[in-house]
Amino acid sequence: MLENFSLFALALVCFISASIYPLASEAFVVAFVINGFDKNLVFLIASIFNTLGALSTYILGLFASKFILEKYFSKSIYKIRHSKINFKKYGLFFAFFSFLPIIGDLFVLALALNKYPFLKASIFIFLGKAFRYALLIFLI
- Overall residue count recorded for the chain in this entry: 140
Instruction: For helices 25-34 and 2-17, give the axis angle rounded to 10 degrees.
Output: 160
| Confidence label for 97 from pLDDT (cuts 50, 70 and 90) | very high
Q: What is the DSSP letter of 99?
A: G
Which of the given ranges, 25-29, 41-45, 65-69, 86-90, has the highest pLDDT on average? 41-45
Q: Average pLDDT in the 46-74 region?
A: 82
6 HSE (CA, 13 A, CB side): 14
Q: How far apart are CA 36 and CA 49, in angstroms?
A: 20
Residue 10 in contact with residue 42, Cβ under 8 Å? Answer: yes
| Confidence label for 68 from pLDDT (cuts 50, 70 and 90) | low
pLDDT tens digits for range 29-48: 999 999 999 999 999 999 99
- Residue 1's Cβ-count burial label (10 Å; 0-12, 13-18, 19+) is exposed
Residue 43 in contact with residue 137, Cβ under 8 Å? Answer: yes
* Backbone CA torsion sign across 37, 4, 136, 129: positive
Q: How far apart are CA 120 and CA 111, in angstroms?
A: 10
